[in-house]
């Protein structure tokens, strides 16, 4: 009798422990495929609580910059298939399938345990974010892909820049990379190249998850993974290289946090404000010191706004060079 009672107790505990991961959230996050129960903590030290989310938000008006701009029509198909990206005539493709499963939730919790790095990344993106989203949409891509740059680099302008493009890929899609200029570090120019590359990968795979495998590991490996198109995300993760699965999980975690920043206790940031810079065409070889003096700003500020410049002057072998300067400066050179 005692053994039978113990068996029944263990069976009940087993069902109770596994049930939260089998029950869909009653109010799922818009645009996000959820597996398991949505439980977020406002801060790592706070008690865990159920949060009902009304609408995705990253600041008061960021939802308009992300959620409202997609013109993809889920009912619009071509012969029963989603329309492909065409380089000369970009057409919207399906939204990126953001998944919040147990693994992605762990990444979310880890990021929120040390939110300073993510807050700094959001702040660094502030002057460029709206324009980056616009570039993705102009290429017919899901705006949520902007968060891939955060997963790749925490939105750094150092090294290979926000999107971490290789030199070969950067040059393939029109970026200048030499000993005086590295346009991979420019948030807007590198986003244009990243958008073209991502569109190319989606053309080849017709599946965003598989496209990101090509992004991370190169197009030469795609044939090995095409058979995994459309499968459940959890099953897909088990088949991926560790670095690729980690990148996907980071990307989705950043997207979840960005869409629901207020619910996670992060500072609301508005990205719909006008850019804090303007473009000025300067003569070849002009030094940043000269530009700073004439524009009423500092060399450090010019370096910050023009991360593609590897030296404190614009290239010599150009007809002219466009430089970002703060908006509250003197008239253009």
Residue 268 has a pLDDT of 55
In this structure, are residues 224 and 188 in contact, taking their beta carbons and an 8 Å threshold? no
End-to-end Cα distance, the chain: 92
Q: How far lies 26's CA from each of 29, 188, 269, in Å?
A: 10, 39, 28
Q: How far apart are CA 286 and CA 162, in angstroms?
A: 26
Q: How far apart are CA 272 and CA 254, in angstroms?
A: 19
Neighbouring-strand partners of residue 137: none
pLDDT over 90, % of the chain: 46
Q: How far apart are CA 263 and CA 40, in angstroms?
A: 8
Helical spans, DSSP H, in 67-207: 102-113, 116-125, 129-138, 148-153, 167-172, 187-205
Q: How far apart are CA 185 and CA 307, in angstroms?
A: 6
- Give the pLDDT confidence of 55-65 residue by residue, as tens digits: 333 333 333 33
Please give the backbone phi and psi of residue 36, each rounded to the nearest 5 degrees, phi first: 95, -175
Q: How far lies 103's CA from each of 20, 59, 170, 250, 295, in Å?
A: 14, 26, 32, 10, 49
- Give the pLDDT confidence of 70-124 residue by residue, as tens digits: 332 323 333 434 334 334 444 555 678 888 899 999 999 999 998 888 888 888 8
Q: Where are the domains of the chain?
A: 56-264, 277-326
Residue 276 has a pLDDT of 80
| Between 128 and 68, the higher pLDDT residue | 128
Average pLDDT over residues 268-275: 59
Question: From the CA atom positions of the chain, what is the Rg in Å?
Answer: 23
Q: What is the DSSP letter of 295?
A: H
Report the candidate in 169, 251, 258 with the shortest Cα–Cα distance to residue 208. Answer: 251
For residues 33, 37, 40, 41, the Cα torsion angle rounded to the nearest 10 degrees is -170
Residue 33 has a pLDDT of 52
- Give the pLDDT confidence of 121-163 residue by residue, as tens digits: 888 888 898 899 899 999 999 999 999 999 999 998 888 999 9
Residue 127 has a pLDDT of 86
Q: How far apart are CA 333 and CA 284, in angstroms?
A: 13
Q: How far apart are CA 100 and CA 253, in angstroms?
A: 8
Residue 93 has a pLDDT of 56
In this structure, are residues 282 and 314 in contact, taking their beta carbons and an 8 Å threshold? yes
CB neighbours of residue 306 within 10 Å: 21
On the question of pLDDT at 286 being above 80, the answer is yes
Residue 317 has a pLDDT of 81
- Say whether 277-326 and 56-264 share the same fold: no
| Between 319 and 48, the higher pLDDT residue | 319
Residue 165 has a pLDDT of 96
Q: How far apart are CA 162 and CA 295, in angstroms?
A: 27
On the question of pLDDT at 285 being above 50, the answer is yes
On the question of pLDDT at 45 being above 90, the answer is no
In this structure, are residues 143 and 191 in contact, taking their beta carbons and an 8 Å threshold? no
User: Model confidence at 287, in pLDDT bands (50, 70, 90)?
Assistant: very high
pTM, entire model: 0.73
On the question of pLDDT at 315 being above 60, the answer is yes
Q: How far apart are CA 318 and CA 102, in angstroms?
A: 52
Asked: is 56-264 a CATH 3.30.450.20 domain? The reply is no
Average pLDDT over residues 20-26: 31
Residue 20 has a pLDDT of 36
| Between 43 and 176, the higher pLDDT residue | 176
- Give the pLDDT confidence of 177-220 residue by residue, as tens digits: 999 999 999 999 999 999 999 999 999 998 999 999 999 999 88
Q: Which of 216-225, 276-285, 321-330 has the lowest mean pLDDT?
A: 321-330
| Between 30 and 15, the higher pLDDT residue | 30
3-state secondary structure of 317: coil
In this structure, are residues 237 and 248 in contact, taking their beta carbons and an 8 Å threshold? yes
Q: What is the CATH number of domain 277-326?
A: 3.10.350
User: Model confidence at 262, in pLDDT bands (50, 70, 90)?
Assistant: confident
Vertex 108: Cα angle to 206 and 144 (nearest 5): 35
Q: What is the mean pLDDT of the chain?
A: 75
Mean pLDDT: which of 27-41, 59-73, 311-325 is highest?
311-325
Residue 39 has a pLDDT of 35
In this structure, are residues 275 and 127 in contact, taking their beta carbons and an 8 Å threshold? yes
On the question of pLDDT at 168 being above 80, the answer is yes
For residues 31, 115, 272, 130, the Cα torsion angle rounded to the nearest 10 degrees is -70
Q: What is the DSSP letter of 5?
A: H
């Amino acid at each position: 009798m005692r053994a039978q009672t113990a068996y029944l107790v263990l069976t009940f505990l087993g069902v109770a422990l596994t049930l939260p991961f089998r029950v869909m959230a009653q109010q799922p996050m818009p645009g996000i495929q959820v597996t398991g129960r949505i439980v977020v903590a406002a801060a790592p030290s706070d008690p865990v609580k159920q949060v009902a989310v009304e609408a995705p938000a990253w600041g008061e008006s960021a939802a308009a910059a992300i959620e409202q701009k997609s013109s993809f029509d889920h009912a619009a198909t071509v012969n029963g298939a989603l329309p492909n990206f065409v380089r000369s005539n970009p057409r919207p493709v399906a939204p990126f399938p953001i998944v919040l499963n147990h693994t992605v939730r762990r990444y979310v919790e880890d990021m929120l345990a040390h939110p300073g790095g993510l807050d700094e990344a959001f702040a660094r993106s502030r002057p460029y974010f709206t324009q980056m989203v616009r570039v993705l949409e102009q290429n017919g891509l899901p705006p949520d892909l902007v968060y891939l740059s955060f997963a790749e680099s925490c939105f750094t302008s150092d090294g290979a820049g926000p999107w971490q493009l290789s030199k070969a890929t950067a040059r393939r899609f029109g970026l200048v990379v030499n000993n005086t200029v590295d346009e991979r570090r420019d948030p807007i120019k590198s986003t244009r190249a990243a958008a073209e590359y991502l569109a190319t990968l989606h053309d080849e795979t017709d599946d965003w998850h598989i496209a990101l495998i090509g992004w991370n590991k190169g197009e030469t490996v795609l044939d090995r993974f095409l058979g995994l198109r459309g499968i459940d995300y959890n099953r897909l993760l088990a088949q991926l290289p560790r670095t690729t699965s980690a990148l996907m999980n980071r990307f989705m975690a950043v997207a979840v946090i960005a869409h629901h920043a207020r619910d996670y206790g992060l500072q609301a940031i508005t990205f719909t404000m006008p850019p804090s810079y303007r473009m000025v065409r300067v003569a070849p070889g002009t030094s940043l010191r000269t530009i700073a003096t004439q524009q009423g700003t500092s060399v450090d500020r010019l370096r910050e706004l023009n991360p593609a410049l590897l030296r404190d002057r614009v290239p010599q072998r150009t007809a002219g060079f466009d430089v970002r300067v703060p908006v509250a400066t003197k008239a253009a050179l």
